[in-house]
Copies of this chain bind each other. A is one copy, B any other.
């Protein structure tokens, strides 16, 4: 992999930053910038000097897991005593302001005796993360491939499911049985539930009508994020036409994806056609975070560059009735784009 720590260190030297300190103290949360740099999702502190080897400092109980993730690991009972020992008054230290809380920041200042000046490294890390390296792309392609396989397997059993939770449980088990976690809580929203863009899942029986399934996995720390909408029962002509409308918009938006195009222009194309029933952004970057930069929204002035991986996910939501969403992950390449989730998008109709 292009060593992201080395890219950070180059930036630190340009900005006269002596150390970057990133930490994660909540084993259950996904601290994205920390994971991006350390490849480690346990508890620890990553100490990055402006040159030389970065050190991952962890509690003793995390030592073995940490050594599998990062090249240089130190285990300590008092992690901050170790970190503090590296720092001298007058140094410029970068923190990830997008993850350090007000409380964490006070504690840090108490633990470290040296008088430091702090700078925020979060925007720089976000911009680094937006452009994937060849190795990151290879991982994400694999994540998307596994996700598609799970969708195929799920759709081939769809007539066996009774409840929304059966679908989610089946998909989750397919991921877990490969030792993989999900990248977010899956959405299986049937009938009127599909009209809520962020409905999760219930133990209600699968209702007739559209059923939105939004699912992704985490593979080697990288996320996939994919949505398909199926129809349970017998669709009316109006249902088919509405689905075709969303699909056509999705294909048109995908067609617009190439270097130099502004994200807002792709979003606005979808919004112009779908109107106010389209109540969320068209898409977002995906990587270590299931939602990261660049945003694909009406306000996003970002111009696509090769290495961006974004979702394109137009939808319509008719309150109290139903909803439809179709979402793929797409890589921006030098020549244009490469679809990472390639599963067909004709409407799957499940007679029940």
Which A residues contact B (CB, under 8 angstroms)? 27-30, 42-43, 60-62, 64-65, 95, 97-103, 105-106, 120, 122, 163-166, 168-170, 172-173, 176-179, 181, 184-185, 195-203, 279-280, 290-291, 317, 319
Partner of A317, one of B61, B170, B172: B61
A276 to B142, CA, bound (A): 42
Given contact pairs A29-B29, A30-B29, A198-B65, A177 touches B169 in the complex (Cβ within 8 A): yes
10 contacts between A and B (CB under 8 A): A28-B185, A64-B195, A101-B102, A102-B105, A103-B120, A164-B179, A165-B179, A170-B173, A173-B173, A179-B201
Let me know if B196 and A65 touch, CB within 8 A. yes
**Which residue of chain B has its CB nearest to the CB of A289?**
B28
Given contact pairs A30-B28, A185-B181, A42 touches B198 in the complex (Cβ within 8 A): yes
A97 to B100, CA, bound (A): 10
Q: A62-B198, A65-B198 are in contact. List 11 more A-B contacts (CB 8 A).
A: A29-B30, A64-B196, A64-B319, A65-B199, A65-B200, A102-B105, A164-B179, A169-B172, A173-B173, A179-B202, A179-B203
Let me know if B172 and A176 touch, CB within 8 A. yes
- Residues of the B chain whose Cβ atoms lie less than 8 Å from the Cβ of A179: 163-165, 168, 201-203
Let me know if B61 and A280 touch, CB within 8 A. yes
Q: Which 5 A-B pairs have the closest CB atoms?
A: A169-B176, A179-B203, A97-B102, A97-B103, A61-B197
**A290 CB to nearest chain B CB (Å):** 6
A280 to B60, CA, bound (A): 9
**A25 CB to nearest chain B CB (Å):** 10
A181 to B201, CA, bound (A): 10
**A288 CB to nearest chain B CB (Å):** 12
**Residue in A43, A62, A176, A280 whose Cβ sees the most chain B Cβ within 10 Å:** A176
**A38 CB to nearest chain B CB (Å):** 15
- Residues of the B chain whose Cβ atoms lie less than 8 Å from the Cβ of A62: 198
Given contact pairs A169-B177, A173-B172, A28 touches B61 in the complex (Cβ within 8 A): no
Let me know if B165 and A169 touch, CB within 8 A. no
A291 to B178, CA, bound (A): 27
- Residues of the B chain whose Cβ atoms lie less than 8 Å from the Cβ of A60: 279
- Residues of the B chain whose Cβ atoms lie less than 8 Å from the Cβ of A172: 169, 172-173, 176
**A207 CB to nearest chain B CB (Å):** 15
Partner of A101, one of B43, B101, B169, B317: B101
A173 to B166, CA, bound (A): 9
**A22 CB to nearest chain B CB (Å):** 13
Let me know if B177 and A165 touch, CB within 8 A. yes
